[in-house]
Chain A
């Protein structure tokens, strides 16, 4: 059974810092991995999607990497801003099944 773990569960950083969020999964036979952002009381917003054949994807200040063989992905956020404060979730897809991590709650202090 695929299990997805995100560490740390919560992270607080000062504004301007670069940071890394981690996601690990137990079964490397994934189709893709997707990173989402969730604001309190809201739905999920897709940030980046990495296909199993890719190593990384970039969008603005965000960079996500994927190492399938070791079962790990990282989300790098450059020059963090208070508006980045949210919960970040990763999810892996195997066929029609998506498995989510519990998320990392990020707080960026002004």
Chain B
């Protein structure tokens, strides 16, 4: 039981390049989330998916797209990376009833030069 896994762990991009961050969970959760964490700030929600086939914008969606590939996988895409997107990205999942307790992946540290 791996919980929430993310790839890659580290990535360096040049401005304008694109990339996709991958996330998978094996807890049979319906809901999945993408956050970014910047120094001195709490985590901010980029996008979430309440169930397979649905996605919704969070607090800071500009510059990102997401795909809920199936119940297990939720990817985050940067189409044209900008230095302002340098951050640590976390994926999380939760059930969609009961406690809604969130479980987090280990994060992806992204640097855009």
Contacts and interface: CB of A to CB of B under 8 A. Distances in A.
Interface string B44-80: 1100101000001011000000000000000000000
Contact of B100 (A31, A43, A101): A31
B41 interface: yes
Contacts of A51: 99
Nearest to A4: B42
* Secondary structure class of chain A's binding surface, majority of residues: strand
Given A93-B100, A96-B48, A102 B107 contact: no
Interface string A32-74: 1010100000111110010100000000000000000000000
B101 A42 contact: no
Contacts of B4: 43
B17 interface: no
Contacts of A49: 99, 101
A43 B101 contact: no
Contacts of A96: 31, 48, 50, 56
Given A32-B100, A93-B100, A43 B90 contact: yes
